[in-house]
Amino acid sequence: MTSSTWRRVLVLLALALSAFTFNTTENLPIGLLSLISSDLDVSLSSVGYLVTWYGLTVAVISLPIAHLTRGWPRRYVLSGVLVVMVAATLVSVLADSYRVLLTARVATALAQALFWAVLAPVAVGLFSPAVRGRVIAVTSVGGSLATVLGVPAGTWLGQQGGWRAPFLALTALGLAALVVIAVLLPTSRPEDSHGAYGSAPHTGRFAIVLATTAISVTGMFAGFTYVERFLTTVTGFAPETVSVLLFVFGLAGIAGVSGVGQFLDRFPHGSLVLAVGLQAVALTGLYLFADVKGAVVGLLALLGASAAPVFMATQARILQVAPGRTELGFAANSAAFNVGIAGGALIGGLALSTVDARGTFLVGAVLTFVSLAIVLAERLFPGGATPDGATRAQVTPAQVTPERATPERAVEPS
């Protein structure tokens, strides 16, 4: 590889590491509930709200903060985002009260909201447009590893050295990513990247992507939020095996992201249809075969392999159909994703009292089939959708503004 290529690769890996760090930070309190509760003398539900407020902050602030910073050079934006994350995570380590910890969490969530808005345009802008899907897959694997490795490892570290220890480790990881990005990411205008604008912008198709994200994620979390109760009280697994089954789920998710990533460049629309469709099948199967242990293990793996690529596939679609700047599209998609998480947990919780844990997966399946119908409805637009998911009426060179035609700058620090 040339020196320039190595720099691009290092920046991409640093972006993936950042995604891993943010996602681990977001969900880490789930594995440290008792430790944080005991140390700060608050209830378990209060510790759980650390995750709730984090997600709500990302959902509410994503679009406004992306709009506010749309003209800022991405090197400065990402460096600033990581500075906030490192500082806030360090404050979490030093927190001596629940209020301080919650404030640090909200600050980290503000940084994460902007991070997910600019991540994909920056990452794909480092490489040829022909490998956009594979680049998004790399960053998605980084985020997915948080579930498989980050949270379990953080939980174990917290059990060994106290709940502050994993936050200190995340501070170090965030600092490492910050150094690489601050030094190697070029200082360029955000509109200079070929990922700054959709290749086939269409407001209607963009709305379909957002609806697909929100409803499919709602369906996923309507059931999955209560998967521990499902596995133990319905299927009959011993409580100590749940962590192993969730590890299988996470590994399957990484495999799904890696596999679908190979097809995103050629079949972005088809990849989204496949991911949502298989999620619907997996949720339905978990409801129908809830008392068959072998089937549940296989279907849980299928759920991981299908649900994890949904966000990645919607990101790839936004690179095509975003009607304006793509970072605003990504911010809207991130907000839709977090609304889906909160909505799914709420709907599942309401259903739990009437249809038990098994029934929550049926509710999730129905919602996912609705999202599948929505994404398939894109073909009803004039011109339909070609096999690769782009509109048949592509943007012509004459329609490209001078800003869009600006070539990428070399990956050199200023």
The pLDDT confidence band at residue 382, using thresholds 50, 70 and 90, is low
The pLDDT confidence band at residue 402, using thresholds 50, 70 and 90, is very low
pLDDT over threshold 50, residue 156: yes
Q: What's the chain's average pLDDT?
A: 84
Q: Find out whether 142 and 15 touch, Cβ atoms under 8 Å.
A: yes
The pLDDT confidence band at residue 386, using thresholds 50, 70 and 90, is very low
Give the helix ranges, DSSP H, for 164-202.
Answer: 164-184
Q: Of the candidates 290, 340, 288, 283, which has an alpha carbon nearest to the alpha carbon of residue 306? A: 283
Residue tagged 């490192």 (tokens): 86
* Host H or E run for residue 90: helix 74-94
Q: Is the pTM of this model over 0.85?
A: no
Q: Give the pLDDT confidence score for residue 412 in this predicted structure.
A: 43
Question: pLDDT by residue (tens digit) across 79-112?
Answer: 999 999 999 999 999 999 999 999 999 999 999 9
Q: Find out whether 101 and 50 touch, Cβ atoms under 8 Å.
A: yes
* Host H or E run for residue 121: helix 98-125
Q: Give the pLDDT confidence score for residue 121 in this predicted structure.
A: 84
Q: Could you tell me which residue, 262 or 107, shows the higher pLDDT?
A: 107
Give the angle 246-251-255 at the CA atoms, nearest 5°: 145
Q: Find out whether 160 and 229 touch, Cβ atoms under 8 Å.
A: no
Q: Find out whether 272 and 310 touch, Cβ atoms under 8 Å.
A: yes
Query: CB count, 10 Å around CB of 384?
Result: 10
Percent of the chain whose pLDDT exceeds 70: 90
Q: Which domains, from first to last, does the chain contain? A: 3-192 (1.20.1250.20), 203-380 (1.20.1250.20)
Q: Find out whether 261 and 131 touch, Cβ atoms under 8 Å.
A: no
Q: Could you tell me which residue, 281 or 123, shows the higher pLDDT?
A: 281
Question: pLDDT by residue (tens digit) across 295-346?
Answer: 999 999 999 999 888 888 888 888 888 887 888 888 888 889 888 888 888 8
Percent of the chain whose pLDDT exceeds 90: 38
